[in-house]
Amino acid sequence: MKNTLKYKGFVGSVNFSTEDQVFYGKIEEINDLITFEGTTIDELEEAFKYMVEEHIEDKFS
């Protein structure tokens, strides 16, 4: 899969909305719908990592 982020074994999609001028994505290959967004690639990556950490905390603690 191209246009992805990876963190702690999780994969996140990367998309861009020209209408909203925002990057967005979701954590792939899990049964839950977890999305994230940012106005820059750095913000998108930080939001992805944050959501992965939240998912890990919710599922595995």
- What pLDDT score was predicted for residue 60? 84
What range does the domain containing 19 cover? 4-60
pLDDT in tens, 29-58: 999 999 999 999 999 999 999 999 999 999
- What pLDDT score was predicted for residue 61? 83
Contact criterion met (CB below 8 Å) for 9 and 23: no
- What pLDDT score was predicted for residue 1? 53
Single pTM value for the model = 0.92
State how many domains the chain has.
1
Helix (H) or strand (E) holding 15: strand 15-17
